[in-house]
């Protein structure tokens, strides 16, 4: 698990165990997550989306507080996953970073509250799994147009981009900022921290692999 260039964003590259039966990997490990980020992550909702090749979802974000942190992974196919810093008081406001998520390396991405998220499906039936820190609330959900030149995301070429009507009508960054819908990191409460340090060791996990 490593931090990205945007504060509150991380990439997680698991160790994938493969044999004649298939493969096994730990998708999310709370103790390791806390050890790296210094915060807890309580899951309030889990989502699954399946997208045809060329589908572009986002840029989505939620009002803060409470915001909605996301831990996402692609379990089938491949996507071009993008995180955007939409916190107007952040030193990296407007910065974006992209990673390929796929069903070979099983890299996951964590985006803290206040960050925008989007992805482009690179394959048919690209399947994304989300762990979310808060439940869906339509009145708190917002979007920025994924082709807004002020952000300037470099999307992979050679695709017939398919957007939902809602995403295609989403405002640009300047309009969202003028409307006051963009989040401020200072409005977020400090993330919950564990009462004590985790005690489970990696050796214990390795010993359990053959039973799974």
Q: How far apart are CA 106 and CA 192, in angstroms?
A: 27
pLDDT of residue 186: 85
Q: What confidence score (pLDDT) does residue 193 get?
A: 66
User: Exposure pattern of 132-161 as b/e (b: 16+ CB <10 Å)?
Assistant: bbbeeeeebebbbbbbbeebebeeeeeeee
The pLDDT of residue 195: 59
pTM here is 0.87
pLDDT at 204: 35
Domain residues for the domain of 163 are 2-14+27-181
Active site residues: 60, 130
Domain membership flag for residue 186: no
Taking the chain, what is the end-to-end CA distance rounded to the nearest angstrom?
23
Residue 212, domain member (yes or no): no
Paired tokens of 43: 């899951």
Distance between CA atoms of residues 101 and 11, nearest Å:
10
- What's the pLDDT score for residue 210? 39
Predicted pLDDT of residue 211: 36
Task: State how many domains the chain has.
Answer: 1
Residue 177 lies in a domain: yes
In angstroms, rounded to a whole number, what is the distance separating the alpha carbons of residues 128 and 141?
A: 19
Please report whether residue 169 resides in a domain: yes
pLDDT for position 188: 81
pLDDT at 116: 98
Residues with pLDDT less than 70, the chain: 191-212
Q: What is the pLDDT of residue 34?
A: 95
Q: What is the CATH number for 10?
A: 2.60.120.10
Distance from C-alpha of 37 to C-alpha of 33, rounded to nearest angstrom: 6
pLDDT given at position 173: 97
Domain-embedded: residue 192: no
| Contact present, 172 and 116 (Cβ < 8 Å) | no
């Amino acid at each position: 698990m490593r931090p990205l260039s945007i504060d509150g964003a991380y990439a997680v590259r698991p160790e994938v165990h493969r044999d004649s039966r298939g493969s096994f990997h730990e998708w999310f490990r709370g103790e390791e997550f806390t050890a790296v980020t210094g915060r807890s992550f309580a899951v309030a909702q889990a989502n699954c989306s399946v997208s045809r090749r060329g589908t572009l979802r986002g840029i989505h974000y939620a009002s803060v507080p409470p915001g909605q942190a996301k831990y996402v992974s692609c379990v089938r196919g491949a996507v071009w996953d993008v995180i955007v810093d939409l916190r107007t008081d952040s030193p990296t406001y407007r910065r974006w970073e992209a990673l390929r998520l796929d069903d070979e390396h099983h890299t996951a991405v964590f985006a803290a509250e206040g960050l925008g998220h989007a992805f482009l499906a690179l394959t048919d039936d690209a399947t994304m799994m989300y762990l979310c820190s808060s439940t869906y609330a339509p009145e708190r959900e917002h979007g920025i147009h994924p082709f807004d030149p002020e952000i300037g995301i470099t999307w992979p070429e050679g695709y017939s981009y398919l957007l939902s009507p809602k995403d295609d009508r989403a405002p640009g960054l300047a309009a969202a900022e003028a409307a006051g819908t963009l989040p401020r990191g200072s409005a977020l409460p400090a993330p919950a921290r564990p009462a004590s340090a985790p005690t489970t060791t990696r050796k214990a996990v390795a010993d359990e692999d053959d039973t799974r």
